[in-house]
Amino acid sequence: MPIDLVEAPVFIDMPLDQLREYLPERHEPQDFDAFWERTLGEARAHELNARFEPYESDFELVDVFDVTFAGFGGHPIKGWLLKPAGRSGPLPCVVQYVGYNGGRGLPHEWLLWPAAGFATFVMDSRGQGGGWRVGDTPDPAPGSGPETPGKLTQGVFDPENYYYRRLYTDAVRAVEAARSHPAVDPERIIVAGISQGGGMALAVSALVPDLAYAFINVPFLCHVRRAVEITDEDPYGELGRFCAIHRTRAEEVFATIDYVDGMNFAVRARTPAHFSVALRDGITPPSTVFAAYNHYAGPKDISVWEFNGHEGGDVHQELENVRLARKVLG
């Protein structure tokens, strides 16, 4: 989510030389692969039913489509598809995921990639969009049981009902929806996101084996056990407060989160990827980002923003990503 650069507190985690060598132990469920294979198989039993309705945006240089597709449980998920006007394709496409408590917003918020000659597919996050960017997708299957306000603890006592099982499945189906549009080149798909969106891009880079590239910026939900130990900032603060109340069940909580921890996806990912990290980030602490990066099995590189918080490289990172995408895709 956006963060005020001036008001961001200074947060110091580890020295950079230690971060580059940091390779913590992973807590991997024995049925991790089977869990996700079954989850995606159940989702794909529903027709994708991707619909792209032309949207009156008043843009002369960009075509906009209001998207609906079937995500987890066949639930309708909203999105946007934007492409340079008059370009029929096949175009490279950047599938973008949104930060915590934000939604797909409005089309004019997503003009960077079409201006650079790419199509972009923006996935709405179910049940989110009330914090900083509007969303339009309800969550028909909220997790049962107690929860701290927010999404991080929703259904957290049971991996089957956990919120991020649904959201990460939606993220995979978003790639499939983007590939179904005739203007999109299915072999030139990039996934991208910041914070929660970066965590989603990381997961998808492992769950979808034939992507062209991934931009994984200050990713959330990586090395979660450490994150909760070293920061009280939300969203991880939600989890800390929840475990303080359910103090005898903390291991159950983390056993569920292990199914979505970015380190466990990282060791499975083969997608070429560019990460970014900010060394004064108290929301996604740098050691948690480097934990995922150092475990990442595919070709990789990382931008390090020494004096920044959760905003990371911000517009400078965006420009760097456009240049990298051109280099990778030709």
Distance CA 303, CA 324 (A): 12
Which strand (E) or helix (H) includes residue 273? strand 273-278
Q: Which residues are registered as beta bridge partners of 65?
A: 54, 81
Distance CA 327, CA 302 (A): 16
Confirm if 291 and 23 have CB atoms less than 8 A apart.
yes
End-to-end CA distance of the chain: 31
SS3 sequence of 110-154: HCHHHHCCCEEEEECCCCCCCCCECCCCCCCCCCCCCCCCCCCCC
Cβ neighbours of residue 70 closer than 8 Å, sequence gap 6 or more: 43, 46, 47, 48, 49, 50, 76, 77, 173
Asked whether the CA dihedral 294, 299, 301, 302 is positive or negative, the reply is: negative
Q: Which residues are registered as beta bridge partners of 275?
A: 216, 302
Helix, strand, coil shares of the chain as percentages rounded to 5? 35, 20, 45
219: which 2 tokens? 């990713």
67 to each of 124, 132, 168, 223, how far by Cα in Å? Answer: 10, 21, 18, 33
Distance CA 276, CA 258 (A): 22
For the beta carbon of residue 130, count every other beta carbon within 10 angstroms: 11
Which positions are annotated as active-site residues?
195, 281, 310
Confirm if 123 and 174 have CB atoms less than 8 A apart.
yes
